[in-house]
């Protein structure tokens, strides 16, 4: 189900381009800001929530997922190099799943782990907050990867559409309209934090719903992406 | 021995028809797919390699569909037209990875064999980003050959190659054809195709315009009516004399001066014209073929 060759090529493609640098910058900013806030405000639960939720879960995790996934899929689809993976007797689902394994490692390394570190920097007295945000970062990031994988095979402008979706839907509308919480990856993962750390980031969202929704998005994204890749059109320059 | 069967295939993109009711069978040996740019060659190769679904009709390899069927790649090697490769790998790493994806027992030695066949062993440990166009083309070739396919599809493989590389690739393709593999390559250059291909399929404007060995195609292309514009000292006299010869189908005096001649037999016309002009004391100032471009050759083929 997972091809080690595709994983290896994927890992090299991420760190062989400028995207790799950006992936390092995001967690540095997160942990740096956490240290700054801790230094200025001390151990403060409100400030911790703002940093880990407002910057970590809403900005860093989705961006890591977007950069990793589009670097793994969209770039190769755009320049046509993906043809070399697809012209092989390998299931297209295997190719998608293997690429998402790499994206997942990126989410852990550049999303979830920095959240854990930032959480411990901000609020060492209550480790459940750090753990909660790290788990939420992992689950939310994975769901985002699945969404962006699908976007990558759907459109040539996956990064643009991904950013618009993050800014408008998850960011702007998610903040303005309460009902969006039923259809928002960030709100679902925030509910996971609420459960683990006993916070109140989102109101009135059953944890079961949040978990099921996250899993549905993950599985659905992989399935739709694989299906789309099975019908991949390679056209020449003419 | 493998055979690609294209049966009444059309393919359109929105309201543009790229391939129009084409039927052909590509068997063992080297086949050249000849046509001007934009004729639908790449679209046809995409359908033959399972990377595009026909809008109507069927494309099969030994009876199996190519679309949504990854298992066909055990038999098929594809050299795409586009340049993009995994630039951050070395040539060898890339070909080894391709061998692994094919599930070969010994990817390392399969890759080495493919690289030495295309004479890339010297540069194999350099990153692909440093390769010239011709070297990239050869690495693409190695990746397509690594699993010893019975079918090899190449989209404009000679683009960007220098003459020596071109000759080497031609030899290679000829050899593979002689081994009984089904080799198909596309090109818009007749000379290129007739040097390698036993069988030539001509496509123009999405249609299958002609099919045959290179002798037949060459005759079709040179025996067509040729048009010339002549500027002479006495247009009317020469026009009337030319009309008397069997190699000329028509001669028209142009209002702006000069004669427009349509010759049905190019070889004879080229001998007759200077002789008649001399005999009748008409000085020839200029003889200009008006439709020598390959596109007009193809256009003629479509019209017949």
Contacts of A5 (CB under 8 A, 6+ apart): B97, B100, B101
A216 touches chain B (CB under 8 A): no
Chain A partners within 8 Å of B76 (Cβ): 87
Question: Cβ–Cβ of B68/A230 closer than 8 Å?
Answer: yes
Looking at the 3D structure of chain A, how many domains does it have?
1
B212: left (phi over 0), alpha (psi -120 to 50) or beta: left
Classify the C-alpha dihedral B160-B163-B166-B172 as positive or negative: negative
What is the residue-level pLDDT of chain B in tens, covering all 304 positions? 899 999 999 999 988 999 999 999 999 999 999 988 888 999 999 999 999 999 999 999 999 999 999 999 999 999 999 888 999 999 999 999 999 999 999 999 999 999 999 989 999 999 999 998 889 999 999 999 999 999 999 999 998 788 888 999 999 999 999 999 999 999 988 778 888 998 999 998 899 988 988 777 777 766 667 788 899 999 999 999 999 999 899 999 999 889 999 888 777 888 899 999 999 999 999 888 776 555 666 666 666 5
Instruction: Give the DSSP letter of residue B283.
Output: P
Question: Cβ–Cβ of A13/B86 closer than 8 Å?
Answer: yes
Q: Do residues A85 and A234 make contact, with C-beta atoms less than 8 angstroms apart?
A: no
pLDDT computed for residue B268 by the predictor: 85
Residues A36-56 as b/e (b if ≥16 CB within 10 A, e otherwise) read ebbeeeeeeeebbbebbbebb
The ipTM (two decimal places) reads 0.90
User: What is the pLDDT of chain A when averaged over all its residues?
Assistant: 93
Question: Cβ–Cβ of A235/B78 closer than 8 Å?
Answer: no
Query: For B43, which of A84, A85, A235 is closest by C-beta distance?
Result: A235
The gap from C-alpha B39 to its chain's centroid, in whole angstroms, comes to 10
Q: Do residues B93 and B74 make contact, with C-beta atoms less than 8 angstroms apart?
A: no
To the nearest whole Å, the CA of B47 is away from the closest chain A CA by: 9
**Hey, what CATH topology would domain B4-221 get?**
Rossmann fold (3.40.50)
Token pair of A148, please?
């962006």
pLDDT computed for residue B266 by the predictor: 76
Query: In whole angstroms, what is the distance from residue B252 CA to residue B260 CA?
Result: 5
Instruction: Give the helix ranges, DSSP H, for chain B.
Output: 41-48, 91-101, 107-117, 133-145, 163-178, 190-196, 214-222, 235-243, 266-279, 294-303
Q: Which domain holds residue A57?
A: 4-230
Query: For B100, which of A5, A13, A92 is closest by C-beta distance?
Result: A5
Quick check: A236 pLDDT over 60? Answer: no
pLDDT computed for residue A218 by the predictor: 96
Contacts of A218 (CB under 8 A, 6+ apart): A142, A143, A146
Q: Do residues B253 and B245 make contact, with C-beta atoms less than 8 angstroms apart?
A: no
pLDDT tens digits, one per residue of A7-40: 999 999 888 777 788 899 999 999 999 999 999 9
In a domain, residue A235? The reply is no
The CATH number for B223-303, chosen from 3.30.450.20, 3.40.640.10, 3.30.70.920, 3.40.50.1820, is: 3.30.70.920
In a domain, residue A181? The reply is yes
In a domain, residue A237? The reply is no
Range(s) of chain B covered by CATH 3.40.50.300: 4-221
Quick check: A41 pLDDT over 50? Answer: yes
pLDDT band at A238 (very low <50, low <70, confident <90, very high): very low
To the nearest whole Å, the CA of B247 is away from the closest chain A CA by: 39
Burial class (CB in 10 A: 0-12, 13-18, 19+), B38: middle
In a domain, residue A167? The reply is yes
Range(s) of chain B covered by CATH 3.30.70.920: 223-303
Instruction: Give the DSSP letter of residue A180.
Output: G
pLDDT tens digits, one per residue of A76-133: 998 899 999 999 999 999 999 999 999 999 999 999 999 999 999 999 999 999 999 9
Burial class (CB in 10 A: 0-12, 13-18, 19+), B44: buried
pLDDT computed for residue B24 by the predictor: 96
Question: Cβ–Cβ of A236/B82 closer than 8 Å?
Answer: yes
The arithmetic mean of pLDDT across residues A213-229, rounded, is: 96
Burial class (CB in 10 A: 0-12, 13-18, 19+), B69: middle
Question: Cβ–Cβ of B46/A85 closer than 8 Å?
Answer: no
To the nearest whole Å, the CA of B37 is away from the closest chain A CA by: 7
To the nearest whole Å, the CA of A230 is away from the closest chain B CA by: 6
Between the CA atoms of A223, A228, A234 and A235, what dihedral angle is there, to the nearest 10 degrees? -160
Q: What is the 3 state secondary structure string of A87-98?
A: CCCCCHHHHHHH
B210 compared with A208, residue with greater pLDDT: A208
Between the CA of residue A22 and those of A16, A63, A70, A99, what are the distances in Å? 12, 10, 13, 19
């Amino acid at each position: 189900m997972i091809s080690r060759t595709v994983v290896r090529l994927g890992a090299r493609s991420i760190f062989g381009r400028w995207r790799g640098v950006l992936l390092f910058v995001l967690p540095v900013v997160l942990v740096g800001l956490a240290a700054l806030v801790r230094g200025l405000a001390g151990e403060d639960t409100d400030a911790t929530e703002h940093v880990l939720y407002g910057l970590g879960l809403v900005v860093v995790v989705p961006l890591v997922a977007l950069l990793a996934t589009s670097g793994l899929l969209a770039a190769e689809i755009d320049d046509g190099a993906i043809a070399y993976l697809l012209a092989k007797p390998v299931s297209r689902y295997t190719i998608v799943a293997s690429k998402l394994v790499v994206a997942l490692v990126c989410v852990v390394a550049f999303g979830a782990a920095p959240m854990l570190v930032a959480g411990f920097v901000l609020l060492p007295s209550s480790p459940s907050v750090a753990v909660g945000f790290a788990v939420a970062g992992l689950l939310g990031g994975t769901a985002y990867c699945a969404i962006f994988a699908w976007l990558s095979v759907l459109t040539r402008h996956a990064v643009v559409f991904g950013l618009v979706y993050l800014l408008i839907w998850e960011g702007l509308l998610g903040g303005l309209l309460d009902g969006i919480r039923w259809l928002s990856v960030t709100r679902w993962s925030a509910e996971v934090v609420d459960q683990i750390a006993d916070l109140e980031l989102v109101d009135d969202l059953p944890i079961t719903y949040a978990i099921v929704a996250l899993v549905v998005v993950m599985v659905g994204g992989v399935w739709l992406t694989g299906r789309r890749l099975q019908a991949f059109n390679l056209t020449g320059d003419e | 021995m493998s055979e690609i069967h294209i049966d009444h295939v059309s393919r359109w993109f929105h309201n543009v028809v790229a391939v129009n009711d084409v039927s052909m069978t590509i068997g063992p040996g080297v086949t050249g797919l000849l046509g001007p740019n934009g004729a639908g060659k790449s679209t046809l190769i995409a359908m033959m390699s399972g990377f595009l679904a026909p809008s109507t009709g069927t494309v099969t390899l030994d009876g199996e569909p190519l679309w949504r069927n990854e298992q066909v790649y055990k038999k098929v090697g594809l050299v795409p037209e586009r340049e993009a490769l995994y630039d951050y790998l070395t040539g060898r790493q890339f070909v080894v990875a391709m061998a692994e994806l094919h599930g070969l027992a010994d990817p390392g030695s399969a890759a080495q064999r493919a690289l030495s066949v295309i004479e890339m062993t010297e540069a194999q440990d350099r990153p692909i980003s440093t390769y010239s166009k011709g070297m990239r083309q050869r690495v693409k070739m190695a990746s397509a050959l690594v699993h010893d396919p019975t079918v090899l599809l190449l989209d404009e493989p000679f683009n960007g190659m220098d003459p020596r590389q071109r000759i080497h690739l031609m030899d290679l393709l000829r050899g593979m054809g002689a081994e009984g593999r089904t080799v198909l390559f596309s090109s818009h250059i007749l000379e290129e195709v007739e040097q390698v291909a036993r069988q030539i399929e001509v496509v123009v404007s999405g249609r299958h315009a002609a099919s045959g060995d290179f002798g037949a195609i060459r005759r079709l292309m040179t025996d067509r009516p040729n048009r010339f514009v002549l500027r002479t000292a006495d247009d009317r006299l020469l026009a009337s004399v030319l009309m008397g010869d069997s190699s000329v189908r028509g001669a028209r005096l142009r209002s702006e001066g000069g004669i427009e001649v349509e010759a049905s037999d190019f070889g004879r016309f080229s001998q007759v014209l200077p002789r008649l002009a001399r005999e009748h004391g008409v000085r020839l100032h200029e003889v200009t073929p008006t439709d020598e471009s390959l596109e007009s050759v193809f256009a003629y083929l479509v019209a017949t």
